[in-house]
Amino acid sequence: MIIYSVTVKIDHSIEEDWVKWMKEVHIPDVMKTGQFKEYRMSKVMVQDPDGVNYSIQYLCPSDAHLDTYLNEHAKGLQEEHTARYKDKFVAFRTLLEVIDHSGI
């Protein structure tokens, strides 16, 4: 399993709108690609005067699924996010390989 993790620092002034849009539009659109089994959205609990940090982790069953997402879907979804929130966010992505899982 692979975790495709997206960490986003969002400006305080648009946090409420961003969270709502992520839950109602963006994350459902990512999941509709069929390349991920599940997701988790978390708020980072460290105070940051420059914004609020969130981590969205998508669980991917294989390299092939991840490649399909990255090659066929990611660019358009990222562009939609950027068009909506312009200079009010910073994002970075990390790939994690799951080596053990408790089943919680």
Q: What is the pTM of this model?
A: 0.92
Q: Which CATH number is associated with domain 2-97?
A: 3.30.70.100
Confidence of residue 104 (pLDDT cuts 50, 70, 90): low
- On the 0-12 / 13-18 / 19+ scale of CB atoms within 10 A, 55 is middle
Q: What is the pLDDT of residues 45-95, one digit of tens each?
A: 988 889 999 999 999 999 999 999 999 999 999 999 999 999 999 999 999
Domain-wise residue ranges, the chain: 2-97
What is residue 3's predicted lDDT score, i.e. its pLDDT?
Answer: 96
What is residue 100's predicted lDDT score, i.e. its pLDDT?
Answer: 87
What is the side-by-side strand order in the sheet with 2-10?
38-43, 52-60, 2-10, 89-97
